[in-house]
């Protein structure tokens, strides 16, 4: 049981003995606190970072520890925050003086003043992150747990040290952290704490988009992201952060015909792809693959519900969403946009696997074809076992056909067998629209299987197309 945790066993690393000596030399008290202690109790593997709180000057303690370490170790000092950081082997260790905080209503950046260990623990976000272990000679290895955090770890419960309305209103980022920890650790958020998140949700507006996205990324990186996104939705936070997603939670029925709930379908797709790839941006693609369905939904009498061009609309929405959330507008965004745009292509193709359609899919997806197939397979969320098996068998056929055609026709990352320079030289042309027309005709012929992806066949077609355009072959080549 976790309540039998032996704190001293978790601080056997040599670095803690250096911190103990440094604190004693300076006449300070020092404690390891927060995530290191929590994860040690939960046995979550080797720590990547350690937080040390000093009853005194944290920066001074960091410098003293660096002096004692066997190897020369630089100390990074962040004076504005009153913190310092150094690396020991492959672990980052951050030092800060114990402090108490007071907040204004329009900022999550507090007014800070020196405090006691109890003040520092009071300001922590959750009881499970307020656990501390003494690094002092008098009580080395003693667990300091003023809020019952050890019991809450045993109960798998997220609870705030102070009144949750105060904790979340002071620093609204803690609402996202509560949900992230619930998702990462598979814990529950205490009922009164979750109600406080719901009542404080509007406060998320004072948090920078970068910090919000950082928490979303951590939720998406968990084994089962749907846990976090359902909590975001139920709390009201998701509607404030990404209304494009919550807009999918509308199921309408007209003339006895309804459509599936695309919001909860999306969460299933995200969970599915989380089982096959750790790529964060593919998980973003799964999360956003259907966002175009809300604005394109239409009921057509005699046909039913349609979502015409939702992939195209969704791909445009990706750019606007990334820009609004201040996410990277680079190749990562382009991958997500591309996946959303092409998300239905293999599904449609699976119903009628033709060589021409496969060539075009290979050409359009390029080096991201394997990712696209992962997304489409994750998109199968039917609970009918016969349909599930049939859809996956269809995708196996698509993959088989892709391999055959790629080996034969080399369409992936297609380059025309004849260059623009050759076209200009052959017909004695300067750069102009004729070159593009001929190259496009050759590309279409290759993709349609009218000619092989080879130089001689492409050159013959080039001559034919040039003649249709009234171009004459350069006299020296006759």
Residues carrying CATH 3.30.460.10, the chain: 2-152
Give the closest residue to 270 by CA, choosing from 291, 251, 289, 247: 289
For residue 78, what are the β-bridge partners? Answer: 83
Residue 331 above 90 pLDDT? yes
Q: What is the DSSP string of 237-288?
A: HHHHH-HHHHTT----EETTEE---HHHHHHHHHHHHHTT---HHHHHHHHH
Q: What is the pLDDT of residues 25-34, one digit of tens each?
A: 999 999 999 9
For 340-344, the CB contacts below 8 A with 24+ separation are: 340/285, 340/288, 340/289, 340/291, 340/292, 340/311, 340/314, 340/315, 341/311, 341/312, 341/314, 341/315, 342/311, 342/372, 343/285, 343/289, 343/290, 343/311, 343/314, 343/372, 343/375, 343/376, 343/379, 344/311
Residue 4 above 80 pLDDT? no
Residue 409 above 80 pLDDT? no
Determine what percent of the chain falls in helix, strand and coil, rounding each to the nearest 5.
Answer: 55, 10, 30
Element (H or E) spanning 463, and its range? helix 455-468
Residue 174 above 70 pLDDT? yes
Q: What is the pLDDT of residues 286-305, one digit of tens each?
A: 999 999 999 999 988 888 88
- pTM score, two decimals? 0.86
d(CA 62, CA 86): 7
3-state secondary structure of 153: helix
Residues carrying CATH 1.10.110.30, the chain: 156-241
d(CA 367, CA 289): 19
Q: What is the pLDDT of residues 74-117, one digit of tens each?
A: 999 998 888 999 999 889 999 999 987 655 666 656 566 678 99
One of 3.30.870.10, 2.40.128.50, 1.10.1740.10, 3.30.460.10 is the CATH number of 2-152, namely 3.30.460.10
Angle of helix 369-378 relative to helix 280-288, nearest 10 degrees, comes to 50
What is the per-residue pLDDT for 303? 85
One of 3.40.50.300, 3.30.1490.190, 1.10.760.10, 1.10.110.30 is the CATH number of 156-241, namely 1.10.110.30
Q: What is the pLDDT of residues 204-238, one digit of tens each?
A: 999 999 999 999 999 999 999 999 999 999 999 99
Residue keyed to tokens 């519900």 = 305
What is the per-residue pLDDT for 224? 98
């Amino acid at each position: 049981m976790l309540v039998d945790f032996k704190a001293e066993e978790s601080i056997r690393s040599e670095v803690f003995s250096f911190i103990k000596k440094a604190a004693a030399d300076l006449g300070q008290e020092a404690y390891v606190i927060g995530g290191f202690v929590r994860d040690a109790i939960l046995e979550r593997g080797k720590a990547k970072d350690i937080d040390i709180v000093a009853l005194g000057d944290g920066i001074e303690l960091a410098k003293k520890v660096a002096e004692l370490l066997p190897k020369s170790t630089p100390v990074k000092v962040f004076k504005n925050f009153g913190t310092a950081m150094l690396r020991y082997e492959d672990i980052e260790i951050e030092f800060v003086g114990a402090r108490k905080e007071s907040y204004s209503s329009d900022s999550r950046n507090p007014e800070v003043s020196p405090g006691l260990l109890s003040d520092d623990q009071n300001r922590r976000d959750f009881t499970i992150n307020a656990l501390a272990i003494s690094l002092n000679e008098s009580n080395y290895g003693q667990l300091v747990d003023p809020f019952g955090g050890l019991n809450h770890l045993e109960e798998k419960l997220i609870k705030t040290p102070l009144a949750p309305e105060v904790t979340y209103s002071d620093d609204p980022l803690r609402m996202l952290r509560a949900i992230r920890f619930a998702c990462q650790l598979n814990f529950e958020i205490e009922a009164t704490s979750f109600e406080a998140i719901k009542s404080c949700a509007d406060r998320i507006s004072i948090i920078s988009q970068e910090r919000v996205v950082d928490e979303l990324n951590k939720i998406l990186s968990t084994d089962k992201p749907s846990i976090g996104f359902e909590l975001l939705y139920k709390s009201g936070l998701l509607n404030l952060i990404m209304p494009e997603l919550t807009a999918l939670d509308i199921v309408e029925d007209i003339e006895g015909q309804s459509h599936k709930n695309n919001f909860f379908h999306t969460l299933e797709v995200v969970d599915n792809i989380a089982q096959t790839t750790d790529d964060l941006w593919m998980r973003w693609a799964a999360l956003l693959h259907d966002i175009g369905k809300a604005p394109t939904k239409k009921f057509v009498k005699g046909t039913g519900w349609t979502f015409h061009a939702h992939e195209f609309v969704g791909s445009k929405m990706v750019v606007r969403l990334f820009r609004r959330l201040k996410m990277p507008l680079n190749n990562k965004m382009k991958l997500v946009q591309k996946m959303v745009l092409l998300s239905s292509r293999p599904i449609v193709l699976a119903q009628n696997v033709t060589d021409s359609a496969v060539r075009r899919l290979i050409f359009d997806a390029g080096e991201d074809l394997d990712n696209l197939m992962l997304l489409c397979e994750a998109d199968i969320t039917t609970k009918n076992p016969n349909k599930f098996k049939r859809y996956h068998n269809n995708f196996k056929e698509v993959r088989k056909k892709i391999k055959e055609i790629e080996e034969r026709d080399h369409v992936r990352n297609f380059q025309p067998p004849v260059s623009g320079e050759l076209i200009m030289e052959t017909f004695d042309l300067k750069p102009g629209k004729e070159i593009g027309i001929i190259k496009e005709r050759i590309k279409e012929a290759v993709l349609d299987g009218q000619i092989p992806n080879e130089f001689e066949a492409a050159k013959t077609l080039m001559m034919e197309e040039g003649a249709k355009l009234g171009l004459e072959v350069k006299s020296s080549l006759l």
